[in-house]
Structure formats: C-alpha cells, structure tokens
Amino acid sequence: MQHLPLPESGAAPVTVMTIAGSDSGGAAGLQSDLRTFALAGVHGTSAVTAVTVQNSLGVTGFHPVPPETVAGQIRAVVEDIGVRAVKTGMLATAEIIDAIADTTEQLGIGGDGAVPLLVDPVSASQHGDPLLTPEAMDTLLRRLFPRATVVTPNLDEVRLITGIEVVDGASQREAARALHALGPRWALVKGGHLRSAATSTDVLFDGTDFLEFEEQRLPTRHDHGAGDTLGAATVCALAHGYRVPQAIAFGKQWVTRSIAAAYPVGAGHGPVNASWRLRESP
Ligand code: PXL
C-alpha cells in the first residue's frame, strides 16, 4: 500500500485529534487511535471523554469526564497546536456530546469548516457493554451527524440508528442512504460484522454514488479496536489532504493489515496490531 509521508526530523508534523474514551486494556479507544497516529507518522492529540474499566473480556464500567473538561481539552489543543483532522469515538453522555458539538462548531471543525470531522457513532463494546447512555444516541444524531464529514457505523450501530438489518449488499446500500439522509457529507457502512459475506466490504455514499471497499475477511478472534483503527488511519489520510474516498481506501487497507497482525493478550479478544508498519520502509 501507499504510505503517508513521514515527518522530517525536527520539522512540524501533521497533527490530528481523537475525542474518545480510554480503554485500560490498550486495545480500542484512544489507545488504539494514538498508536495508529504514531505509526502513520502524524502527531496525535486527544480529548478524553471517559475512562473505561476494561480488559480483553469486556467493559465493567466507565466514568465520564466533565463536559467542560472535554471542551477544554479540544480548545487547548486547537488554539496552540492546531489540528488538520478530528475523529470522535466513545462519547459516553449527551452532555459531553453537546459540549463537543458547541466547541467544534466554534473552532471550525466539521460542518463547512476547514477541518474534516470523522464521527464513529460508538454505542457499545464488542461484548455488548454500553459505551453511550441510551438517550445520548439521539443527541449524537441531532448534533454531530449534520456536522460530520463522514460517519462510520458498524452494523450494530446501523441497526440502532436506522432500524435496517444489513444482510447483503442491497440492504447495506439502503442503510448508507438512510444514514446520509441524517446529514453527514459521506456515510460509510462497515461490513466487517457481516460474517456471512466471503469478503469484508464497506460501502460509502455521498448522496449520489456508492463506492465499495473490499478486502479479504480474515479468520481471527483478535479484532478488538478494528473499527477505531480504521477511523484513526482514515483521519491521518484526511489530515494529509486526501479526499474522503481515498482516505477510506487507506484506512481500510491499514486496518486489514492490522487485523492480519493481531495478537492474543488476555483470555478474550486480543487487539488488532498496527505495528506491522514498523517492518516496512517509508
Ligand atoms: O471499539 C469501540 C470502542 C471505542 N472506545 C472505547 C472502547 C471501544 C470498544 O470496546 O472501549 C473506549
């Protein structure tokens, strides 16, 4: 695959931000995002939304960060360091989402602003443990979807948001259309969880055209953090000025290689592993 340019030693790097929860197990959330940012050669910054209590077996609880502290982190980074693209992951509560919507709007992130905003509408962990209060999804759809450059739900999130059960390519395109109607510039329906399909195909829709991103389906139970890693790599490419389809293509290749390199840690689902990148030349 074509890699992103690496920063010159001593020169200012491209900077990105993840607005996400902490995974104590180091697989998903901001830990996975910062790992991919570093390995892709961009400077990663973060606004922590919640601290989860988590290992490879599941999430047993989380503690949200006060909304003004989330907003303060975003503002502190943008006003000093600056960011070229932003990603949201676990947002925990409606109050945190409102604070993020207000702050990103003021700072020109998402909407018609210059800084692309990728919104991954994370609602639950792989084990089904909630990462968002039930009423907060409405706030996320109302306040962040219309401002998103691209939204990247998995099939469980698609069902929750649109009521559509994706079972094949036709229903996947129907879901992409329903998501796009909620306001984002682009909607990506990730097909990784469609286990009946021979390949892993993601469908991207901009209101006119459907694009498909197809990769091999890899037989592993170590796939924790896959969705986050796809989004994180995509955001790195957006920060480098890629257009959305090219950025998704980069993210999809990056996560597929990271799933191929996934390893076991703990007794449950191990993390995807982006460190394959270290073995390749620039
Ligand atoms: O993969 C979604 C996700 C995002 N953020 C945090 C998580 C998870 C899944 O477990 O724990 C903090």
Q: Whole-angstrom Cα distance, residue 235 to residue 233?
A: 5
Of all protein residues, whose CA lies closest to atom 7 belonging to ligand 1?
29
Of all protein residues, whose CA lies closest to atom 6 belonging to ligand 1?
29
Q: What percent of the chain has pLDDT over 90?
A: 95
CA-wise closest residue to 92 among 59, 115, 116, 43: 59
Average pLDDT over every residue of 163-177: 97
Average pLDDT over every residue of 255-259: 97
Would you say residue 142 has pLDDT above 90?
yes
Given ligand 1 and candidates 19, 46, 49, 52, which is best to mutate, with the most ligand atoms within 8 Å of its CB? 52
| HEC letters along 168-216 | CHHHHHHHHHHHHCCCCCEEEECCCCCCCCCEEEEEEECCCCEEEEEEE
pLDDT score recorded for residue 203: 98
Distance 67 CA to ligand 1 centre (A): 19
Would you say residue 32 has pLDDT above 90?
yes
Cα separations (Å) of 141 from 121, 184, 213, 214, 246? Answer: 9, 10, 25, 27, 25
Q: Whole-angstrom Cα distance, residue 163 to residue 242?
A: 32
Cβ < 6 A, ligand 1 pocket? 20-21, 23, 28-29, 52, 54, 59, 89-90, 122, 125-126, 131, 225, 227-228
Average pLDDT over every residue of 32-43: 98
Alpha helices in 41-122 (DSSP H): 67-80, 94-106
pLDDT score recorded for residue 196: 87
Question: Would you call 79 exposed, middle or buried from its count of C-beta atoms within 10 A (0-12, 13-18, 19+)?
Answer: exposed
Residue 147 is given by DSSP the state G
pLDDT score recorded for residue 127: 87
Segment holding 63, helix H or strand E = strand 58-64
Distance 20 CA to ligand 1 centre (A): 8
Distance 231 CA to ligand 1 centre (A): 12
Question: Atom of ligand 1 at shortest distance to CA of 224?
Answer: 1
pLDDT score recorded for residue 262: 96
Would you say residue 72 has pLDDT above 90?
yes
Q: What percent of the chain has pLDDT over 70?
A: 100
Question: Atom of ligand 1 at shortest distance to CA of 225?
Answer: 1
pLDDT score recorded for residue 82: 97
Question: Atom of ligand 1 at shortest distance to CA of 129?
Answer: 10
pLDDT score recorded for residue 222: 94
Would you say residue 219 has pLDDT above 90?
no
Distance 224 CA to ligand 1 centre (A): 8
The 10s digit of each residue's pLDDT in 101-119 is 999 999 999 998 899 999 9
pLDDT score recorded for residue 113: 85
Would you say residue 282 has pLDDT above 90?
no
Distance 209 CA to ligand 1 centre (A): 30
